[in-house]
Structure 1
Amino acid sequence: MQPDGSLEVENTVRGVLRDVLGLSAERVAEFREDTPLFGALPELDSLAVAGVLTELEDRLGILIEDDEVDGEMLESFGALARFAAAKALG
């Protein structure tokens, strides 16, 4: 069972990945907890990471500090969604 609001955050993360990376809605809808992101999606290069994080901040009303950004956070869809949920709902 997911905490209240986490599904909304997950959907926001999907929307950000779709919009910033130019991915199709169908492709992003297939992302699962273990779907690899950074290093696996050619669209998600270092410049795109900045765009994704900025858009998450805007859409979720959060602030992501530089020292919070690491490879683990971007390793999989689930890791990114958990990070965003912790920031938005924590």
Structure 2
Amino acid sequence: MNIENTLKNILSAMIHVDINDFYFDMPLLGEYPELDSMGIMLLLIEIESLINLDTNEITLSAETFATFGSLLQNLEAVSRFAQLSA
């Protein structure tokens, strides 16, 4: 499973940005009306479903969702932790 590509696909469907246009410092929170509080909840549901991560382990802060890179780094850290705990 490639977390980066899956995250790009999830976000692409939500905010209508081509997957090739994502970059590490791409702002998310506050840039797209789709990523309001309800949008973040839907994003977390998709992450849990498609990436198979426990969203209870994701740091839920504005900094986590500030950019594509910050979100990706958080998800990768949660994934590494889950693998070590298994």
Normalising by the residue count of structure 2, what TM-score does the alignment of the two structures yield? 0.81
Aligned residue-pair number: 81
* Cα separation, 2, equivalents of 1:10 and 1:67: 15
Cα distance between partner residues in 1 of 2:51 and 2:58: 19
Q: Would you say 1:42 and 2:36 are equivalent positions?
A: no
For the aligned residues, what is the CA RMSD? 1.9
Equivalent in the alignment of 2:5: 11
- Please, what TM-score do these two structures have when normalized by structure 1? 0.78
Name the structure, 1 or 2, with higher relative contact order (CA <8 Å, separation 6+): 1
Q: Which runs of 4+ in 1 moved over 6 A?
A: none
- CA 1:46–1:66: 2 relative to 1, 3 Å: farther
Comparing both structures, which one devotes a greater share of its residues to helix? 2
* Percentage identity across paired residues of the two chains: 27
> What displacement does 1:66 show?
7.6
Unaligned 5+ runs, structure 2: 82-86
